[in-house]
Structures are given as C-alpha cells and as structure tokens.
Amino acid sequence: MKLQIALDRMPAATALDVAAAVAPHVDWIEVGTSMIKREGAAYLTAVADAAGDTPVLADLKTADDARWELTMAYDAGARSATVLGLAPATTIDTAVQVARERGRELVVDLMGLDAAARAALADRLPSDVVLAAHVSKDAQGDGGSPLAQLGPWADGRRIAVAGGLGVADMPVLAGTDIRVIVGSAVTSSPDPLAAVQALRAAAGAEVLR
C-alpha cells in the first residue's frame, strides 16, 4: 500500500509546513485542485521543495487543453498530474502522450463515472496510467466509498482510491498495491505527522521510513 497525502482547503503556509513534516513518512504529496487554483503553478514548486525527495502530484483534474496544463505542472516540479475520466477521449489521450514525453506519471480521476465507463477506460488506457476511484468532496456526505467502486476493471491496473478515507479504512487496504489518498484525516489533525503514523500503523506498516 502506498500513502498519498492531499493538501487542500488550507492556508498556503500551513500546507507547506504539513508537507515538510509528513513527506519523509509518506509516498506522495498531493497539491489539491483548490490549492492550485488559488496559489498557481509556482506553488507546486514550493511544495516540491518542501517535500524533498517525496514526489508531488498536481491534482489538476484537467478536462481540456491537456498539453498546456500538464506541461505547466510538470515544469513546476510535479512528478504526476491528474486528468478527468469524464474528459473527451482526445484530452485523455493527449495527457497520456505528454506524460510519456516527459517521463512523468498520469492519473485518470474516475470521479462521476459509472462501472461501465470505468471498465472502458481500464480496457483502453496503457497499463502505466494510474486509475483513481474517487468519491468527490460534494458526494462524500452520501456515504459512498471509493472502495465500493473497485471491481474486475481494476485487476492488473495501477489503482488509487480517494474520498473520505481514514484510519478505519486502512486494514482492508493493507498488503495491496493500491495508492491510498488521504486528505482531511491528516490535514485537519492538530498533529498531521501523528495522523500519518496512525494510518500506517492501522495498515500494518512501519510508522517511520
């Protein structure tokens, strides 16, 4: 199991402090869509500097103009970026091409897609593309879990899960190759590092790397 911490809906300076504190103990740092919209591409560089050797993902949720947006994020220091699965096929395919040209990662956010659409993307996209089952922020109040979106389409794929996840979800994910994206369970904690250590302990992992 890989652990990715999402920075969103918080002051920029606080997010940098959280990134610096937790980066040595997690696998990825994510700069959330709202943070990028508010702070701009230069903020990706600041987070990448704070994260040190831990790679940074830019959660662009690109729906159009993929070459421009992904190039902007990769140039700013992001090692990965997201495109929406709801985007036109040509946008997703352009994103795949740009990521390959740059030697960077691409994540396709499956938010809002039904099982058939998730399966169709899994069937046609290259195996190095990460597919992210995601319950959106606005939909989390309905009680859905990204884990419920997994199915046969996920077999043999690089998978991430996001949306309201916390300590209680970790045991079922322990021992898998899934990338687990956690946001407010860490960033809203008075001690983000302790929250990360609790997540790793719940997954049966060492709390320090």
pLDDT score recorded for residue 182? 97
The residue type at 98: V
Distance CA 50, CA 26 (A): 13
The answer as to whether 130 is a domain residue is yes
pLDDT score recorded for residue 1? 93
Contacts of 190 (CB under 8 A, 6+ apart): none
Q: How far is CA 74 from CA 9, 33, 46, 101, in A?
A: 22, 15, 13, 11
Q: What is the CATH number of the domain that holds 183?
A: 3.20.20.70
Tens of pLDDT, residue by residue, the chain (209 residues): 999 999 999 999 999 999 999 999 999 999 999 999 999 999 999 999 999 999 999 999 999 999 999 999 999 999 999 999 999 999 999 999 999 999 999 999 999 999 999 999 999 999 999 999 999 887 877 767 899 999 999 999 999 999 999 999 999 998 899 999 999 999 999 999 999 999 999 998 644 44
**Selection from 155, 152, 111, 151 nearest residue 133 by Cα:** 111
pLDDT score recorded for residue 207? 46
**Selection from 65, 71, 51 nearest residue 7 by Cα:** 51
Domain total in the chain: 1
The answer as to whether 208 is a domain residue is no
Instruction: Classify residue 103 as left (phi > 0), alpha (psi -120 to 50) or beta.
Output: left
pLDDT score recorded for residue 199? 96
pLDDT score recorded for residue 205? 66
Which tokens sit at 185? 């369970």
H-helix segments, 33-181: 33-39, 41-51, 66-75, 89-102, 115-124, 170-173
| pTM, two decimal places | 0.95
Range of the domain at 131: 2-202
The answer as to whether 86 is a domain residue is yes
Distance CA 42, CA 141 (A): 32
The answer as to whether 132 is a domain residue is yes
The answer as to whether 44 is a domain residue is yes
The answer as to whether 207 is a domain residue is no
Query: What residues form DSSP beta bridges with 109?
Result: 84, 132
The answer as to whether 209 is a domain residue is no
The answer as to whether 185 is a domain residue is yes
